[in-house]
Amino acid sequence: MSFTHAELKKKTVAELREIAKGIEHEAVQGYSQLNKEHLLVALCKALNIDMHVHHQVVGLNKAQVKANIRRIKEKLDAAIAAHDRKQIKFCHRQIHKQKRQIHKATV
């Protein structure tokens, strides 16, 4: 009986209570009195299920992109100190583009 968080979230309160009925764990004690939100958390605790979806970056070297962002931020700090508005705007756009690359590659 293995479930994912997404599968449990789609189930009704009655179905979740049926699952909790068969589990001997302190997190699901009093399951008949719990609402769906609390019951979902208790079941995830009892079944050792991650509550969050972990995304992965595919087809992109995330470490390299983050290193690029750090280098751009150094240039940005220098531009801020020099009060160079054009360079500040350019750095902000470059950082935005790098972050969008990571976001688009995330699955």
40-52: pLDDT as tens digits: 999 999 999 988 8
Q: 47: which residues sit within 8 A by CB, 6+ positions away?
A: 2, 3, 23
Q: Over the chain, what is the mean pLDDT?
A: 93
Q: Are 19 and 39 in contact (CB under 8 A)?
A: no
Q: Are 32 and 17 in contact (CB under 8 A)?
A: yes
pTM above the 0.85 mark?
no
Q: Which residues of 17-28 are buried (b: 16+ CB within 10 A; e: fewer)?
A: bebbeeeeeebb
54-83: pLDDT as tens digits: 788 899 999 999 999 999 999 999 999 999
| Confidence band of 1 (pLDDT split at 50, 70, 90) | low
